[in-house]
Amino acid sequence: MVGLYAGRIRQYRKVLILEKYVINGATTLHGEVEISGAKNAAVAIIPAALMVDGVCCIENIPQISDTDMLLTILKELGAKIRYINKSTIEIDARNATYKDAPYDLMRKIRASYYLIGAMLGRFGSAKTTMPGGCNFGVRPIDQHIKGMTALGADVDVKNGFVYADARDGRLHGARIYLDKVSVGATMNIIIAAALAQGRTIIENAAREPHIVDLANFLNSMGADIRGAGTDTVKINGVDKLHGGSYAIIPDQIEAGTYMVAAAATGGEVLLKNVIPRHLECISAKLRETGTIVQENEDSVLVKGASTLRRVNVKTLPYPGFPTDMQPPMGTLLCLANGTSVITEGVYDNRFKYMNELRKMGAEVQVDGRVAVIEGGRRLTGALVQACDLRAGAAMVIAGMCAVGTTIVEDIHYIERGYEDFVGKLNALGADIKIVDFPDNDDSEKIISVV
Ligand code: EPZ
């Protein structure tokens, strides 16, 4: 498990070796796929385990580099990590101490900001790097800082680090209105407030399923959190959290990605271990394209249409259409008949991947937060980059639909958020190989095929 992230780039006889996906299209996906645990729940629940005075047994942790890195960080802080099986992990943070954590890992992931709330809750102090993560526009943490300050912490950002200290040694409850609907700030404040003295109320809170999952995890460990999943969350701080067991919900965005892949390739895929209610906005939008989506109790069946209809998409906080599904949808709409419009309602620069799709023959006009896609195009294979996690998934879907061979670079982004992406797709009929390329002039020469 350890080193998932580092494994995609390595040295070989003084030549840098880069692993890339080589995708032969066009393929049609058929079969069944098991959805893993939710990345954006796991990356908050793992740091939150730092605050538990006991052993947390957490099931359905996705095997991805983001969770791998957070578990490594907790280990560096002195927590004991025991793997029960590939997706069930015991975390015992009782001997964790406040000390310098591996900042090189922290600055690689966005979710390292949850360590601020967890370390403040546990130690009364925190030092983390400014968060890393996907680069699609300005991603400030001012709402996180607003929340921690309201809870009684002195917060200072300098030299690329965030320093936070609870003025009275322990945080105290507060009423916090978020100026922006922020998933991260909502979850970070919930974490920090769980062990604060008194009641905290978060207003204008985000409502994503993974926020409810975090609250359910903390409540199963003895916290007192109500209203998660609504725009007002109330937390009555407790003195300690006890150990226990918890299973993370299935990943809404991983499921959505496979749904779009099935629709785009014109295949038929049964997604197992999902919560259909979390997928409603994605299912509704796919049905508008003519795709058939059948919901069962814990699975959905997606059948691609012979021809895809154009649609308009506007991304919004939950329960709106998820911004993380915007890039995969962008690929699908390149194949749909007619002109589609995507409006990005959350980030200010999340269309960089459109340049990569243009290399494959897509016709797209982008103006700020709006992309106009002239669909009905036959995509052709090309050398493309994964600009970020979800953009990388969009390029893989494009490669499966394109005629010819597509090589996707910077696949470490994709490995951050999709467990066994290549294995699951090949089991559905894709033709994807992870291939070593020398990072030099003849970088097209394949060294070895994994
Ligand atoms: C989380 O990011 C997810 N990441 C993102 O998923 C997801 O795109 C995003 O929520 C929205 O759903 C994790 O959970 C680790 P936000 P986060 O705070 O918390 C602005 C993926 O692919 N904002 O809800 O960073 C911000 O710039 C990743 O899995 C502030 O202005 O998102 C954005 O415009 C990509 N100040 C908007 O709010 C702040 O303090 C929403 O951001 C915080 C955010």
For ligand 1, whether the C-beta of 69 sits within 6 Å is no
- Of 134, 334, 387, 401, the catalytic one is 134
Q: Which residue minimizes the CA distance to atom 13 of ligand 1?
A: 40
Task: State the closest ligand 1 atom to the C-alpha of 136, by its place in the atom list counted from 1.
Answer: 35
What DSSP element (H or E) covers 76? helix 65-76
Residue 118: CB atoms within 10 Å: 28
Q: Are the CB atoms for 206 and 232 separated by under 8 Å?
A: no
Q: Is 188 in the pocket of ligand 1 (CB under 6 A)?
A: no
CA of 297 to the centre of ligand 1 (A): 30
DSSP β-bridge partners for residue 236: 199
Q: How far is CA 145 from its chain centroid?
A: 22
What integer pLDDT is reported at residue 441 of this predicted model?
Answer: 53
- In 108-241, alpha helices (H): 114-123, 142-150, 183-194, 209-220
Q: How far apart are CA 324 and CA 259, in angstroms?
A: 14
Cα 111 to averaged position of ligand 1 atoms, centre (Å):
10
d(CA 212, CA 225): 10
Tell me the best of 36, 40, 67 to mutate to test the pocket of ligand 1, counting ligand atoms within 8 Å of each CB and taking the most: 40
Q: Within 13 Å and on the Cβ side, how many CA atoms surround 38?
A: 24
> Whose alpha carbon is nearest atom 25 of ligand 1?
184
- pLDDT score of 4: 40
Is 346 touching ligand 1 by the criterion CB < 6 Å?
A: yes
**Cα separations in angstroms, 396 against 33, 360, 381, 421:** 16, 12, 11, 10
pLDDT of amino acid 52: 98
Helix (H) or strand (E) holding 256: helix 252-265
From the first residue on, what is the mean pLDDT of each consecutive set of 10 residues in the chain (450 residues)? 50 78 97 98 98 98 96 95 96 91 87 96 93 78 97 95 95 98 98 98 98 98 98 98 98 98 98 98 98 98 96 97 98 98 95 97 97 95 95 98 96 94 98 88 50
Contact (Cβ atoms closer than 8 angstroms) between residue 392 and residue 408: yes
- Give every strand in the sheet of 312-314, ordered side by side: 312-314, 339-343, 370-374, 363-367
Instruction: Locate the ligand 1 atom nearest the alpha carbon of residue 183 and give its number.
Output: 24
Answer whether 390 contacts ligand 1 (Cβ < 6 A).
yes
Distance from the CA of 141 to the center of ligand 1, in angstroms?
9
Q: Does the annotation mark 134 as catalytic?
A: yes
36, 157, 183: residue to mutate for ligand 1 pocket, most atoms within 8 A of CB: 183
Cα 334 to averaged position of ligand 1 atoms, centre (Å): 26
Interval between CA 436 and ligand 1 midpoint (Å): 33
Collapse the DSSP code of 126 into the 3-class scheme (helix H, G, I; strand E, B; otherwise coil) and give the result. strand
Ligand 1 contacts CB of residue 124 (under 6 A): no
pLDDT (0 to 100) of residue 5: 42
Work out which ligand 1 atom sits closest to the CA atom of 141: 40
For ligand 1, mutation pick of 46, 254, 346, 348 (most atoms within 8 Å of CB): 346
| CA distance linking residue 383 with residue 360, whole number of Å | 9
Query: pTM of the prediction?
Result: 0.95
- Cβ atoms of residues 188 and 143 within 8 Å: no
DSSP 304-359: --SSPBP-EEEB-STTSB-GGGHHHHHHHHHHSBSEEEEE-SS-S---THHHHHHH
Instruction: Report angle CA 60, 62, 66 to the nearest 5 degrees.
Output: 140
Rg, C-alpha atoms of the chain: 22
Which amino acid, residue 86? K
> How much is the pLDDT for 437?
85
